[in-house]
Amino acid sequence: MNKYTFSTQGGKAYYCNSIPAFIKDNSESIIGQLVRHSFEVNKEQTDAWDNQITELQNKLEESGMEGDVIFEYDIVRLGKRIDVILLIRHMVFSLEFKNGKNAYVAQDAQQAEDYALDIKNFHKESEDLYVCPILIATDAPKYKKEQLIDCYPDKQIFLQRENIDTFTPKVAQIVDKYGEDKEIDFEKWFNSPYHPTPTIIAAAVEAYASHDISQIAQSEAGQANIDRCEKKIDEIVQYARNNRKKCICFVTGVPGAGKTLVGLDVVAKNLNKGVDNLSVYLSGNGPLVEVLREALKLSVKEKLKKKSDEEKRETEAAINALIQSSYAFKKDNARGNNTTPEHIMIFDEAQRVWSKEKMENKHKKDDTLSVSEPSLLLRIMDRHDDWAVMICLVGLGQDIYDGEVGINEWFKCGINEYNNWEMYYSPDIFDQIEDKEIDKTMIEECSRCHESKELHLKTSIRSFRADKQSTFVDSILDNRPYDAENVYREIAEKYPVYITRDIEVAKRWAKKQVRGSQRCGVLACSSAQRLRPEGIFVPKVIDVKNWFLAPSTDLRSSNMMEIVASEFKVQGLEIDWAVVCWDADLRRKSESEWDFYNFRGSKWVHRNQTIQQRYLVNSYRVLLTRARQGMIIFVPKGVDPEEDPTRDESIYDEIYKYLLSCGIKEL
């Protein structure tokens, strides 16, 4: 079989070939392959590829060099694609093309160097090879400063800045100095597994030594409660390691109980135990991954000031290795039989895993992903010959996406498909789980399922706010105003909740509460489309890490209260003081019932499906449980329906009256 066919590629690149065969290949055919494998293609991108291909073919033919060429090589776990890789005389060249650029920009140079650093740090087959990053600004003049052809101790060659005419002579110079007369095993290199090097692990240990994610992962649970949970997890990890076992445990708790903190602490505590104890924190929640990574980077910022640029980038790469997107993890490990370097996997928001149908729909071209998400993750971790531990952090009553199967699927797969796995859970999981179809009998009758009360983060006196606030929100959304009023009386002093019909009053109140480094922000449901006349726009995309972490003076900061965040941006994260905006999507049907709507075109459309109604209620549950210290709910006044039927004042009045009946005080 031709080693360059896509059957051996596993989706890791859009095109590859030997250099001589690439030179002879038809450029339109190559572009066709690039387009076929790319999700988003526009004319600008195809023109750039056309230019790259033509120029590369000409320059490589003139140089007479032999080797391999790869377009759009995927460093899968890190979610990055390198423009072009050249494998020549036992060396790796990472090319970052900037088509039409006439200057060498610092940001482009860093991008080019970061790709080389990623290859050195995470690409197992490149660990002992010379890797050279080259920034190619095609139309720039020759770089004026002298460029040393030298390398770091790990064999990464210094970044070279070249134009389209100077880059092949530079490659020839570097090959003369560092090249060897032996071939790289192409297939082995191409399909190299993800593998963090010891230097990256050391950088991760150092980053975590001073980690401070309290801004994001603050817990209202008592520390003793968290300690008991972490001690139990440590016992399970030790048991698995010592007895060559595979275990999965489920950590449950109310919002704010400290699940995220527990997961991050597990990563930290196992880092110091060596390469065989690596762990990774995974989440399908993109904003959460983004914010947690940024929080860690900010926590070590001062410490890094005295370090070299290379050490700074190593630390950043290490943090990205510790906290990863579950999508990238699955994509990297779905095919083949490679074992992950991590023996411990922490999976956040495990209740939000996808069904087999959802996986098939999202990954139509990939049969290896035609299973439910729990089944796939168990298959990946089961490849370890010795031991493995999966820790599933379970948020309760917060499923807001279509196609989520909940916890029952985890147990079903563990019991029916993987009979060598032991499962640990708290009996509280049956009382608090949203998915009432969980098969309690199946779990209790399986000898490999073990009850452990420590795995549920029960709240204590110190967690008074989190416990009662969650109960208060549940009572509101479950149409129990009398219960909500009783809880409100208990929490009002320590956890103030107000309601207003004036958005400016709401914003002023929230801003006034903020002290020191506390944060406030405006929240609204993604389907709240008729808040716009009040100046409240709910964008699909926000700069989430700066919304949560930027200083108050930064326009991107939540504290400026100019950018509204939806349930999809804040799930799993918290702020201190929240303005929660309530629209006519979730409205009163009667004194004891909600009614459910979506806004389409120019009118509200009823949500008829029960599951879509549940998602809407849970969206408001997420929004109403994001504030650590207190919140104010804004309900618009609306207008006469003759003026605008989509903002009918009677709809908003009924919502407002119901919330008042829950005991909430008007501001």
**Per-residue confidence (pLDDT) for residue 377, from 0 to 100:** 93
Tens of pLDDT, residue by residue over 574-586, are: 888 999 999 999 9
- Phi, psi at 575, each rounded to 5°: -130, 175
Is residue 43 very low, low, confident or very high in pLDDT (cuts 50, 70, 90)? confident
SS3 130: strand
Domain boundaries, the chain: 6-190, 198-457, 462-666
Residue type, 154: D
The mean pLDDT value for 133-162 works out to 92
Contacts from 331-339 at CB under 8 Å and sequence distance 24+? 331/11, 331/76, 332/76, 332/77, 332/194, 333/380, 334/366, 334/368, 334/369, 334/376, 334/380, 335/10, 335/11, 335/368, 336/10, 336/191, 337/383, 338/193, 338/383, 339/383, 339/384, 339/385
Comparison of pLDDT for 38 and 90, the residue scoring more: 90
Q: Are 384 and 339 in contact (CB under 8 A)?
A: yes
Residue 169, token pair as written in the block: 């002579």
Please give the CATH number for the structural domain made up of 198-457: 3.40.50.300
Is residue 391 very low, low, confident or very high in pLDDT (cuts 50, 70, 90)? very high
92 contact partners, CB below 8 Å, separation of at least 6: 85, 86, 119, 126, 129, 130, 131, 132, 184
Residue 217, token pair as written in the block: 């992962």
Comparison of pLDDT for 619 and 284, the residue scoring more: 619
Kind of pairing, strands 80-88 and 564-565? unpaired
pTM, rounded to two decimals? 0.71
Tens of pLDDT, residue by residue over 417-467, are: 999 999 999 988 877 544 445 678 888 889 999 999 999 987 633 344 556
Tens of pLDDT, residue by residue over 200-227, are: 666 555 655 555 444 444 455 456 778 8
The mean pLDDT value for 595-609 works out to 95
* Burial class of residue 444 (count of CB atoms within 10 Å of its CB; 0-12, 13-18, 19+): exposed
Residue 498, token pair as written in the block: 């107000």
**Per-residue confidence (pLDDT) for residue 539, from 0 to 100:** 94
Least reliable range by pLDDT among 163-167, 198-202, 301-305, 663-667: 198-202
Comparison of pLDDT for 635 and 55, the residue scoring more: 635
Kind of pairing, strands 388-395 and 246-253? parallel
The mean pLDDT value for 136-159 works out to 92
Is 60 exceeded by the pLDDT of residue 403?
Answer: no
The mean pLDDT value for 635-643 works out to 96
The mean pLDDT value for 160-167 works out to 94
Q: Are 570 and 626 in contact (CB under 8 A)?
A: yes
The count of other CB atoms within 10 Å of the CB of residue 147 is 13
Is residue 9 very low, low, confident or very high in pLDDT (cuts 50, 70, 90)? very low
Which among 189, 32, 84, 82 has a CA at the least distance from the CA of 126? Answer: 189
Round to whole Å and give the CA distance between 638 and 302: 49
**Per-residue confidence (pLDDT) for residue 621, from 0 to 100:** 92
The mean pLDDT value for 19-42 works out to 81
Tens of pLDDT, residue by residue over 323-333, are: 888 888 888 88
Question: In angstroms, what CA-CA distances link 546 with 85, 110, 225, 291, 578?
Answer: 33, 21, 31, 8, 17
Q: What angle do CA 329, 83, 132 make, to 5 degrees?
A: 95
Round to whole Å and give the CA distance between 214 and 227: 16
Is 50 exceeded by the pLDDT of residue 159?
Answer: yes
Comparison of pLDDT for 569 and 305, the residue scoring more: 569
Round to whole Å and give the CA distance between 501 and 482: 23
The string over 12-38, giving b where at least 16 C-beta atoms fall within 10 Å of a residue's C-beta and e elsewhere, is: bbbbbbbbeebbebeeeebbebbeebe
The mean pLDDT value for 232-260 works out to 89
SS3 211: coil
**Per-residue confidence (pLDDT) for residue 7, from 0 to 100:** 39
The mean pLDDT value for 132-148 works out to 93
Least reliable range by pLDDT among 354-363, 404-413, 472-481, 543-552: 354-363
Instruction: Supply the mean pLDDT for the chain.
Output: 85
**Per-residue confidence (pLDDT) for residue 118, from 0 to 100:** 86
Kind of pairing, strands 593-600 and 586-590? antiparallel
Round to whole Å and give the CA distance between 51 and 536: 44
Comparison of pLDDT for 434 and 386, the residue scoring more: 386
| Plot region of 195 (φ>0 → left; ψ -120 to 50 → alpha; else → beta) | beta
Which among 252, 225, 245 has a CA at the least distance from the CA of 438? Answer: 252
Round to whole Å and give the CA distance between 151 and 553: 42
Q: Are 151 and 144 in contact (CB under 8 A)?
A: no
SS3 162: strand
Is 90 exceeded by the pLDDT of residue 157?
Answer: yes
Residue 511, token pair as written in the block: 């801003």
Least reliable range by pLDDT among 63-67, 223-227, 246-250, 640-644: 223-227
Residue 342, token pair as written in the block: 């991590």
**Per-residue confidence (pLDDT) for residue 77, from 0 to 100:** 76
**Per-residue confidence (pLDDT) for residue 388, from 0 to 100:** 96
Tens of pLDDT, residue by residue over 500-522, are: 999 999 999 999 999 877 899 99
Is residue 475 very low, low, confident or very high in pLDDT (cuts 50, 70, 90)? very high
Least reliable range by pLDDT among 15-29, 89-103, 209-223, 601-615: 209-223
**Per-residue confidence (pLDDT) for residue 171, from 0 to 100:** 95
Q: Are 156 and 126 in contact (CB under 8 A)?
A: no
Of the chain, the end-to-end C-alpha distance in Å amounts to 74
Taking the CA atoms of the chain, what radius of gyration do you get in angstroms? 27
Is residue 398 very low, low, confident or very high in pLDDT (cuts 50, 70, 90)? low
Q: What percent of the chain has pLDDT above 70?
A: 87
